Amino acid sequence: MITSLNGKPPHVIDDSNYRDYVPDADYVVKDNKGNLHFTGCLPVEEWYPARMATLPFEASGIVEYDEQEVKERLENMWAHEASLMHLGYEMDALKQEAGTCWIFGTCGAASLMLTCAGLPYRVPSPASVAYHCYSNFGVRGGYPSLGVEKFQEHGATDARLWPANGYSRNYDTDKTQADRKHQWLEEVVEAGSGESGFWRCMSAICQGHPVGLSYSWWSHYVYGCWGRVNGGEVQMGIRNSWGNDGYGDKGFGLIGGRRKYPSWSCIFLRMRQSPGA
């Protein structure tokens, strides 16, 4: 039996229990303790014509591994405490208060990228990016690719200045506008969907890159930063945006079976943080 970093079996969603996580029409899921959690990823990514600045996978420098290579690398990373999960475990999980997973996943990955680069730890505020996307901040759902695009175009304000769930235009001040120039999401690769997208994302994770994962069955968007071989199967390791106590081990869990294949995914290659930050 594999364990998570807390020494307990990891939380796993698969074909046997995924219906427990399918939200109702209001993008709300009730957990086994009766707590309500939000999803909010609009169901068909192609409805939004993404204008993200992307690199083709073939030009990204990421090597696509076969299944056996992925298995060996994941287990080696886990044994040496070298996974992105190990690196980000002490970071508190972001907690969305509305249907804004479509941008929370990207901002969570961005915080991890800054940490990976040895830069000062910062949390890019999801609300500061959502401000540029929808008149209502997308609190009733949105498109992950739009969040990525606006993060690339406008940068993000630190959550200490613009709270992660600060859905008020009063936070749009000269100070927060100046701060957002310090951190930008730069290079992104679209990894695709289905089984091929899954293996591209797992290969990227093995090479130290977090990924964004949109799941239509879940109406949810999360970021992937680890993985395990569980019962002989490679399972996608994600971090959710329901807070430290809202899901799995501090937000970390696994997705297996056919549920692990994304409906849309991307690989985050590089963040830029200004020296003046």
| pLDDT value of position 277 | 42
pLDDT at position 275 is: 53
**Contact status, residue 214 vs residue 262, Cβ threshold 8 Å:** yes
Instruction: Give the chain's end-to-end CA distance (angstroms, integer).
Output: 44
Q: What are the per-10-residue average pLDDT scores of the chain (277 residues)? A: 96 97 91 88 68 89 97 98 95 95 97 84 93 95 94 95 98 95 90 96 97 96 98 98 95 98 95 62
In sequence order, which ranges of 136-260 are alpha helices (DSSP H)? 144-154, 174-180, 194-206
CB 236 within 8 A of CB 198: yes
Determine the pLDDT at residue 274: 59
Q: What is the pLDDT of residue 46?
A: 58
Which single residue is written with the structure tokens 């690719």? 145
pLDDT score recorded for residue 48: 65
As a whole number of angstroms, the distance between CA 45 and CA 38 comes to: 18
What is the rounded CA–CA span in Å between residue 73 and residue 151?
31
Per-residue pLDDT tens over the stretch 259-277: 999 999 999 998 876 554 4
Residue 152 CB neighbour total at 10 angstroms: 18
pLDDT, averaged across the chain: 93
Please tell me the predicted confidence (pLDDT) of residue 47. 55
What is the set of domains in the chain, with CATH numbers? 12-41+48-156+182-273 (3.90.70.10)
In this prediction, residue 276 carries a pLDDT of 46
